[in-house]
Amino acid sequence: MLDRLTEFFFPKQVSTYASDIDSLYFFIFYSSVVLFFIVVFGMVYLSIKYRHRKGEDLKLTSSKDHSNLLESMFFIIPLILVSITFVWGIRSYLKMVIVPDDAIEIKVTGQSWFWTFDYPDGGTTLNELVVPSNKPVKLVLSSKDVLHSFFIPVMRSKMDCLPNRYNIMWFDATKEGVYDIFCTEYCGTGHSQMGAKVIVMQPAQYDEWASELGSEDDDLPLDELGAKLYTKKACNTCHTLDGSALVGPSYLQTSQMWGQERVFDDGSSTVIDDNYIRSSILEPMTKIVAGYQGVMPTYQGLLSDRELDALIAFLKTLNEDSQI
Amino acid sequence: MSNKTKQNYLNHPKGIMSWLLTLDHKRIGLMYLFSGILFFFLGGLLALVMRFELAAPGNDIISNEVYNNVYTLHGAIMIFLFIIPAIPGALGNILLPLMVGAKDVAFPRLNLASFYIYSFGALFAMYTIINGGVDTGWTFYTPYSTQSSSNVVPMTLGIFIIGFSSILTGLNFIATIHKMRIPGLTWYKLPLFVWALYGTSLVQITATPVLAITMVLLMLERFLGIGIFDPALGGDPVLYQHFFWFYSHPAVYIMILPAFGIISEIIPVHSRKKIWGYKFIAYSTLSIAFIGFLVWGHHMFTSGQSVFSQIVFSFITYFVGIPTGVKIFSWILTMYKGQVSFTPPMFYALSFLFLFTIGGLTGIFLGAVALDIHLHDTYFVVAHFHYVMQGGTIVAFLGGLHHWWPKSFGVMYNQTIANIAALGVFIGFNGTFFPQFLLGLRGMPRRYATYDEQFVELHSYSTFWSGILGISIFIAVMNLFWSFIKKNKVDPGSNPWGGMTLEWTHTSSPPHPHNFEEEPVLQHGPYDYDKVIVDKTYKK
């Protein structure tokens, strides 16, 4: 019964402290329901019982306006309930902030509008946080630009990412699976697209994954690797493949204009070719396409040369006519 | 009594200039009222645009950029142009001098100046809309607001200017309450609405300067590149949050205390019963105003502040909750052994008790640090503060309008339509915002223009009911205005509800230009329904 209710109100419980927080929720929830029914019942009962009936004369009403017993009850019962809530809230909170010593440490960087994860043994991922199950994971969070907030509903945890200092959060994932990550601090145009996934693996599987991190894509043909990178490196947050404009121009449009002039907001123009794409990825703020805002972060250091080649190859495949 | 040529503040003196340059608190109140309602409709329209965009995931109607502008303007207009200035400005101005038996507020010219300062600030906000909007959220969090290319400066300048209007109105009200009461009207004989205005004014004059300074610092940073909040310039964004919430949490009490005052008037009058726990309600108003200054940190539970701060802020937060809870019980017990009439104002008051209780109780969830971390910046928070601000303040405001409408204009609206609209507001409101608690619990973040498939059902449900809510509010307000134009106006008499405070017992409806034809003499307390049966008409 309680499990069914928990499922109704909450996402899955995946961290060790999640059930504790949900129990606190249900304690407040049931207390509130009782208090709420007292309020509504009192309101309905008194207003109907003492309603002014048709034809009844106006009369002098009771001068009763206090009752020490009732008032002390209204004071003491909520006081007891909120005291329990307060202490419970703090005790559970301490579980959420005291990081176990053996936690593996992953660096999380928020940036408009994607997440970068740096792993302890080298290697990074974008928008995919991979962690082992049943092992504490400590996240060190910061931001490269404006405020972001890193929220994993199934873990019941959340922490702001600041550009000038590090914040810490930790969890111990109890169930393998793929779960949502959301940005919960407003960060501009792409805020609602700044989602990511956390992938919880068996520890053995995680170790294997970590050792292969970065090398798995070596065998892929360039255009297939590019297609993969398009979502993996969060290009899709701002650039569509169907020609519609999001934050930035669609890849399809760029692909269709291959070899033609592109006009920038300062009036200058360039022919779209491999070098233009490369510099647009590495130095996006130097040439801003007319009609768009210059908001793209640089991918300098986030993409290898092979990955850059792959993205360019992928972009070219989008338009059949542009096979040059 | 039914002498048609009788002078009242609405027909004497005549001419547009006599309105624009009026020093009469009632006329100034009406100007606040009409501009407030205008902004309320504008903000409401923006809310509906948002809801319809969110009926389905994806950008169906508007793009991310437009959505961000719409939600920012919705919040900024509702808070800075409607709730904070217009509710005390309208009902407070119209009623305060009448309730204390004065001819006007302490400084009538300053009062007019406040209105024009407010209008001037509002012009900047309107310029912001015409010039392409602002997309930072009404909180203007840095460093986004120092970097955004939208109209941050005109909007913050507007808010800065409106702040002065708030401060001056607060000063004026405090001076009026201290100095303008008629002989015999001691503090404990004041209507509780006056106590509420007193608490509100204290917060206005003490908290608003902090907001003003914060807005100036933000503008300095944008104009001169002085590093205060932007880390790229050497500033600290969390400092901004401290400054901002040091004002904006007390501002919650600027918004809700007048509502408490309105409810404390409506319930005794329409229950014909002495109010339960007068002194408790009066003092809790002041203590809530004071404690409200000490809890700002609960807006920052995920900002990374120290564990010690988290514990302290959580602890103090619960101290606001308890007096508020006791107030709710006091209002309910007021009906005990009374004669309760189900008039439109009473419907709104009962609706307030229901909705505000949910708003208050869900605040308890958010005050518990461990749970807040999950709920922070999700739809749970959105639902919570709408239950407090709309279900609380705006429902009470609508109740107050219906309560004092016959007093202010000498006409009565159609009470059946008013009751139906009140029911529509109640159902539409719950339908709109209750699903949002569930959305938040399930992890839906706020300020999202698009969202994940898993949230569709609850979002579309919320959107459907928001339409009903919008229509009901529109009908409620139009029904009030219809009372001006309908033929065969029925004179409701000066005191249709049988109120006991001076504005009901000692002057006609609408009141005389100078409020009272002679200085009123206090014959009974504000809620002495156990001692006197008041006549429903004012006899002169």
Residue B20 in domain:
no
Tokens coding A282: 């590495």
Name the more confident of A261 and B264. Answer: B264
What is the number of other CB atoms lying within 10 angstroms of the CB of residue B519? 12
On the CB side of B182, how many CA atoms lie within 13 Å of its CA?
Answer: 24
Residue B39 lies in a domain: yes
| Cβ contacts from A onto B, under 8 A | 274
Q: 10 Å Cβ neighbour count for B184?
A: 11
Whether the per-residue pLDDT at A40 is higher than 70: the answer is: yes
Please list every residue in chain B whose beta carbon sits closer than 8 Å to the beta carbon of residue A159.
302, 304, 373
Q: Which of A6, A41, A86, A143 to mutate to test the interface with B (most CBs of B within 10 A)?
A: A86
Q: Which chain A residues have a beta carbon less than 8 Å from that of B338?
A: 50, 61-62
Q: Say what the ipTM of the complex is.
A: 0.93
Best B336, B353, B451, B457 member to test A by mutation, with max A CBs in 10 Å, is B336
Q: Under CATH, to which class is A104-212 assigned?
A: mainly beta
Contact, B222 vs B149, CB < 8 A? no
* Contact assignment for A52 to B272 by CB distance below 8 Å: yes
Instruction: Find chain A residues with C-beta within 8 A of B318's C-beta.
Output: 82-83, 85-86
On whether the A2-49+67-97 domain is CATH 1.10.287, my answer is yes
- Tell me which residues of chain B, numbers 309 to 338, contact chain A at a CB-CB cutoff of 8 Å: 310-311, 314-315, 318, 321-322, 325-326, 328-329, 332-338
Q: What is the pLDDT of residue A320?
A: 65
Q: Is residue B68 less than 8 Å (CB to CB) from chain A?
A: yes
Rg of chain A's alpha carbons, rounded to an integer?
A: 28
Closest CA relative to residue B30, chosen from B112, B115, B90, B110: B90
Mutate to test the interface with A, among B72, B315, B371 (most CBs of A within 10 A): B371
Q: What is the per-residue pLDDT across A11-21, written as a single tens digit (0 to 9) for each?
A: 999 999 999 99
Q: What is the pLDDT of residue A282?
A: 87
A324: pLDDT strictly greater than 60: no
Domain that includes residue B424, residue range:
25-505
Mean pLDDT of A172-196: 95
Q: Cβ-count burial of A122 within 10 angstroms (0-12 exposed, 13-18 middle, 19+ buried)? A: exposed
Query: Is the CB of A86 less than 8 angstroms away from the CB of B367?
Result: yes
DSSP B67-93: HHHHHHHHHHIIIIIIIHHHHIIIIIH
Check CB contact of A219 with chain B, cutoff 8 Å.
Answer: no
Residue A34: is its pLDDT beyond 80? yes
* pLDDT tens for each residue of A142-169: 999 999 999 999 999 999 999 989 999 9
B237-271 and B344-367 helices, crossing angle to 10°: 150
Tokens of B317: 């937060």
Dist. CA B88–CA B262, nearest whole Å:
11
The pLDDT of residue A216: 59
Q: For residue B487, is it within any domain?
A: yes
Contact of A43 with chain B, judged by CB distance below 8 Å, is answered with yes
Element (H, E) at B530: none
DSSP assigned state of A265: T
Q: What is the side-by-side strand order in the sheet with A104-111?
A: A124-126, A114-118, A104-111, A136-143, A167-172
Q: Is B393 a domain residue? A: yes
| Chain B contact set for A163 (CB, 8 A) | 143, 231-232, 237
Chain B hits for A94, CB-CB cut-off 8 Å, are 307
Residues of chain A with CATH 2.60.40.420: 104-212
Asked if A74 and B325 come within 8 Å (Cβ–Cβ), the reply is: yes
Q: Which residue has the tokens 């169907």?
A: A242
Average pLDDT over residues A256-270: 86
**B64, B333, B448: residue with CB nearest A189:** B64
Answer whether residue B56 is part of any domain: yes
- Per the CB < 8 Å rule, is A162 touching B530? no
Contacts of range A124-128, beta carbons closer than 8 Å, 24 or more positions apart: A124/A302, A125/A213, A125/A232, A126/A232, A126/A233, A126/A234, A126/A302, A127/A195, A127/A196, A127/A197, A127/A231, A127/A232, A127/A233, A127/A234, A128/A196, A128/A197, A128/A199, A128/A232
Going by the DSSP 8-state scheme, the letter that residue B464 receives in this structure is: H
Locate the chain A residue with the closest alpha carbon to B371: A21
Residue A221 pLDDT > 90: no
Residues 278-307 of B with CB under 8 A from A: 278, 280, 302-304, 307
Q: How many CA atoms are closer than 13 Å to the CA of B130, on its beta-carbon side? A: 6
For B133, residues 6+ apart whose C-beta sits below 8 A from its C-beta are: B69, B70, B72, B73, B150, B151
Cross-chain residue pair A151–B365, CB shorter than 8 Å: no
Residue in B274, B353, B451 nearest the CB of A43: B353
Per-position pLDDT tens, chain B of length 540 = 444 457 889 888 888 999 999 999 999 999 999 999 999 999 999 999 999 999 999 878 898 999 999 999 999 999 999 999 988 999 999 999 999 999 999 999 999 999 999 999 999 999 999 999 999 999 999 899 988 888 999 999 999 999 999 999 999 999 999 999 999 999 999 999 999 999 999 999 999 999 999 999 999 998 898 989 999 888 999 999 999 999 999 999 999 999 999 999 999 999 999 999 999 999 999 999 999 999 999 999 999 999 999 999 999 999 888 889 889 999 999 999 999 999 999 999 999 999 999 999 999 999 999 999 999 999 999 999 999 999 999 999 999 999 999 999 989 999 999 999 999 999 999 999 999 999 999 999 999 999 999 999 999 999 999 999 999 999 999 999 999 887 656 677 788 999 999 999 999 889 999 999 888 999 899 999 999 888 776 655
CB atoms within 10 A of CB B7: 15
Nearest CB among B273, B276, B374 relative to A158 is that of B374
> What backbone phi and psi angles, to 5 degrees, belong to B484?
-75, -35
Q: Which residue of A has its CA nearest to B135?
A: A188
CATH number, domain containing residue B334: 1.20.210.10
Cα-flanking dihedrals φ and ψ of residue B534, to 5°?
Answer: -80, 145
Taking CB atoms and an 8 Å cutoff, what residues of chain A touch B273? 50, 61-62
What is the predicted pLDDT for the residue at B1? 41
A25 touches chain B (CB under 8 A): yes
Q: Does B105 or A58 have the greater pLDDT score?
A: B105
**Is the CB of residue B529 less than 8 Å away from at least one CB of chain A?**
yes
- What is the pLDDT at residue A164? 86
| Residue B3 resides in a domain | no
**Sign of the C-alpha dihedral computed for residues B137, B140, B145 and B149 taken in this order:** positive
Closest by CA position to B506, among listed B514, B515, B496, B493: B515
B469/chain A closest Cα distance in angstroms:
22
Neighbours of B485 (CB within 10 A): 8
Tokens of residue A237, six digits:
């947050």
**Structure tokens, A145:** 């630009």
Single out the residue of B375, B377, B382 nearest to residue B359, CA to CA.
B382
Q: Please tell me the CATH code under which domain A216-322 is placed.
A: 1.10.760.10
For residues A163-192, give the mean pLDDT: 95
What integer is the mean pLDDT of A255-265? 86
For residue A50, the chain B residues in CB contact (below 8 A) are 271, 273, 335-340
CA distance B504 to B537: 8
Span(s) in chain A for CATH 1.10.287 = 2-49+67-97
Q: Spell out the alpha helix ranges (H) of A187-291.
A: 203-212, 222-232, 251-256, 274-282
Residues of A in contact with B336 (CB under 8 A): 46, 50, 62, 64
Structure tokens of B524?
């009974």
**Domains held by chain B: number:** 1
Two structure tokens written together for B326: 């006791």
B384 touches chain A (CB under 8 A): no
pLDDT digits 0-9 by tens, A279-295? 888 888 888 888 887 77
> What is the DSSP code (8-state) at residue A217?
G
- Chain A partners within 8 Å of B430 (Cβ): none
